[in-house]
Structure 1
């Protein structure tokens, strides 16, 4: 990791057709089509939208924040599943904004004695997520800890 206090992430988008573009990054191998969501005129079904990517940015930051906190705390877990939804609504000026992201984080552990710590680490992940700290939308985390003891 760089010791610099600033980091840069390059993304390129090229218009493909209609309301669809293709996104890539010099740092990544994959390309991704992006389009206006189908809820808007000219929107496209079945293609990632900026609204999906916004929601994905918040929830993937939560995931990476949690895994970093767990690693630092030497906390072992069996699985982490995140289901998230982003809400678009109109603000006080009548403009559409991404107003809320709800993250349901289901963490599976094998030791019931570590359940309380599991919840603390999920809470810590929410606190340190830099994307959450960078946006105006409300972020609601619904933590669920499941204990599954191997037989």
Structure 2
């Protein structure tokens, strides 16, 4: 990544009620967003801003981890990241007060468990999204060794 500024354009077009359509001139796929069902007028079954906020933290961890793992020549079999955002009222206003990231990494060789943990921790520290938000981020990584067939 170069040191110059980067921009990421996202466009939102309101459809109806509490539903809009997200798109980007840089991407082909579009998808609906809506107020989450926990709020008055919220809509079930559609991604909400809260889902997108939490997913930005988990996907940033994944992309940062895969870059560092590639650079460090760490082979892995699988990576799953469970992420939970907690919404609380602070000073009378709703905020995402914390995000809990629970990545689970599967590797084939037990001798690389410590290296894998270090790389996961580096990725969590280097993730530009979690460094950019006010929410507290809790990190609970797990590395498992899987038998290859």
Instruction: Report deviation, 1:4.
Output: 4.8
Instruction: Report deviation, 1:10.
Output: 0.3
SS in 2 for 1:55: helix
SS in 2 for 1:13: strand
Aligned to 1:75: 74
Aligned to 1:137: 135
Instruction: Report deviation, 1:149.
Output: 2.2
| Whole-angstrom CA distance in 1 between matches of 2:124 and 2:12 | 30
TM-score between the two structures when normalised by the length of structure 1? 0.96
Task: Select the residue among 113, 119, 123 that pairs with 1:125.
Answer: 123
Per-residue displacement from partner, 1:27-54 (whole Å, max 9, x unpaired)? 0010010000000000000000000000
| Whole-angstrom CA distance in 2 between matches of 1:78 and 1:86 | 27
Aligned to 1:48: 47
Aligned to 1:65: 64
Moved over 2 A (4+): none
After TM superposition, the structure 1 = structure 2 runs for residues 1-151 of structure 1, keeping only pairs within 5 Å, are: 3-91=2-90, 93-151=91-149
RMSD (Å), alpha carbons: 0.9
Unmatched runs of 5 consecutive residues or more in structure 2: none
Instruction: Report deviation, 1:137.
Output: 0.3
Unmatched runs of 5 consecutive residues or more in structure 1: none
Per-residue displacement from partner, 1:56-98 (whole Å, max 9, x unpaired)? 000000000100100110111010011111110011x110001
SS in 2 for 1:89: strand
| Whole-angstrom CA distance in 2 between matches of 1:33 and 1:133 | 27
| Whole-angstrom CA distance in 1 between matches of 2:32 and 2:3 | 32
